[in-house]
Chains A and B, each alone.
Chain A
Amino acid sequence: MLIIENLQVKLLNKELLRHIDLEIRPGETHILFGPNGSGKTSLLMTIMGYPQYEVTAGKIWFNGEDITHLSIDQRARRGIGMSYQRPPAIRGVKTRQIVEMCAGNPEIVEQLAERLNFSDFLDRDINVGFSGGEIKRSELLQLMAQKPELALFDEPESGVDLENIAIIGNAIDELLERGHLPRYGKSVKEEKESRTRMGLIITHTGFILDYITADQGLVLYDGVLACRTNPMEIFKQIRSVGYEECVRCGCAS
């Protein structure tokens, strides 16, 4: 379970996030909306532990532990993972190496890559010359190997072509255990109750909502969480009247 209490964050002396309260319970997936520059990526980077995002007040708890001041790798080892929007390219480091390292088991790498239509990229330098869509598949592949308890997605569908969007959508759906088919002799209800994976997904276009269900939608506006309700409802509202209404409608606390 992730609990964020009254979080306040600065980057280069500029306040980016204020009074953030957020709770993601085991099995829950939340969708984070917000206009450009509202602080969505900053919130994900802060949860992941990027030190340039300075926590000036508040706390982040993960599975009962205060992780506010843990390093990135300590958080990764506790089960937090992230799919980046613009990850760095690292020359000479092969995608395969990283995926193997995430999986801790080289044997499953090929199979995972095949599912994402990404086998041809395993022996390429990570993110070097990758298109927007290729980056998203590479990020997702790493997360699928890493299997984090809490997965943070920064615009997982941006730049992905139509051919691959279903692949990505369905893979995220599976990673977050959002499936709605009875499996392994379990009923759908039992399946749902046995979910433990948590997700926090930033989306701009909302396309991802065609593939995954979510429990909660949130709007981040100017560094403040301004609205929480059904994600489809938020998305429809944003699509028709934009973000201003989100604030004006009085959801802002």
Chain B
Amino acid sequence: MRMRELDERARAALNKAAALGEDIDLDSFLTDSPRYEKIDDLKRLPEQDRQRMLMAGIDTDGRQRSGSYLQKDGSPVFSAAFQEGLEIVPIKEALERYDWLVDFYWNLIPVDMDKYTARARLNLQNGYLIRALPGARITIPAQACMYIETNGFSQNVHNIVIAEEGSELHMITGCASATHVARGVHVGISEFYVKKNAKLSFTMIHHWAEDVAVRPRSACIVEEGGLFLNNYISMKPVRSLQMAPVTSLVGKGAVARFYSLLAGHPGSELDVGGRVILRAEETRAEIVSRSITNGGTIIARGDLIGEVPGVRGHLECHGLILKGGVIKAVPELTATAEGVEMSHEAAVGKIAQEEIFYLMSRGLTEEESAAMIVRGFLNVEIPGLPRPLQQEIDRAVELSRTEMM
């Protein structure tokens, strides 16, 4: 019944362009691809794939992970949890297994938001349910990898992440394409539920190819005392990326923190936003983005809406133009109640010469000085993030930074 209704709404939105970003012609991509067999060990993957996945933070040895989900094109090829209290199930299977899950499916994101959401419903390939059971402490990160194997493929996934009451869950998702993939599109729907006093950290590293278009559609709801920590890293060339996740803090004392590290390359356009709505008392939000560009366009948006007295929020958009390109910072603050404390800080420019000279007077060459400054610029310390995840972020950033400079 509900599915039929969703389908109808999706069909009506099949040609609805998104409010932001280049309009992608989805019909020019393949919707079929070979069905890949399930594997019982990520170590069996071809070495080349493992290397690509590693760049996106995916550990195919699986030693430092509490569970893994891997999807190749449309096929879930691996899905297993190794820690009690953690559940990892392909979404199609999960929707069959759990009656209650339907209430979490297309609950935070309207299916008819745009043509990408419509596709993700009408041509759902798969995705995952990852869930930490009440009180479970999943401190070793769980990982999920969305991999495009077929050139020209249009990957549509739907993910639901639930951190049940009092649980703690850390996740890393790596999205990557095989080396032979030049072109593709990835539509990823993600709905996050952070229940009372739960803590969810979600770190996403994108490692696509030069002609891949990416349209994530995510939303999150955080209940009383909950924490949602979202990190997004896209340092590799990608043709077009547009996303604007929405997070609602609905319970007292809920906290959301967003960190993005973005790199623009010639010919690429990244439009990355984030809206947090502070709906309950004592809620707090922080949105931090750091962008560097070598010729691409980056639009870094941040949007805080304070609806209750006493809530606090801070936005920080900093951009550095290294060699050409455009960076646009769009910070927005809206208060609809008295006593809302929200602020923003935006700065866009090139590396300050004064800083370069300062380091040169300590003996570094001009290039070494610039490298140290950019490394520092991208060195955002994320409180509450487990060390291995911080290391994955640092590695992804450092690899790309050295390639760019």
Contact = CB atoms under 8 A, between A and B. Distances in A.
A101 B373 contact: no
Contact of A76 (B360, B372, B379): B360
B362 A76 contact: yes
Nearest to B378: A92
B336 interface: no
How many residues of B sit at the interface, in one of the four size bands? 20 to 34
Interface in B298-355: 352, 354-355
A146 interface: yes
Contact of B363 (A48, A84, A101, A125): A101
B380 A92 contact: yes
A82 interface: yes
A146 B352 contact: no
Contact of B375 (A77, A81, A92): A92
B221 to A, nearest CB: 32
Contacts of B355: 88, 90
Given A91-B376, A93-B373, A93-B376, A76 B358 contact: no
A146 B364 CA distance: 12
A88 B361 contact: no
Contacts of A49: 361
B348 to A, nearest CB: 14
A48 B357 CA distance: 10
A72 interface: yes
A72 B354 contact: no
A164 interface: no
A85 interface: no
B359 interface: yes
A110 interface: no
B361 A98 contact: no
A146 B359 CA distance: 12
A182 B380 CA distance: 49
B8 to A, nearest CB: 50
B22 interface: no
A90 B372 CA distance: 10
Interface in A116-168: 125, 142, 146
Interface of B: 352, 354-355, 357-366, 369, 372-373, 375-380
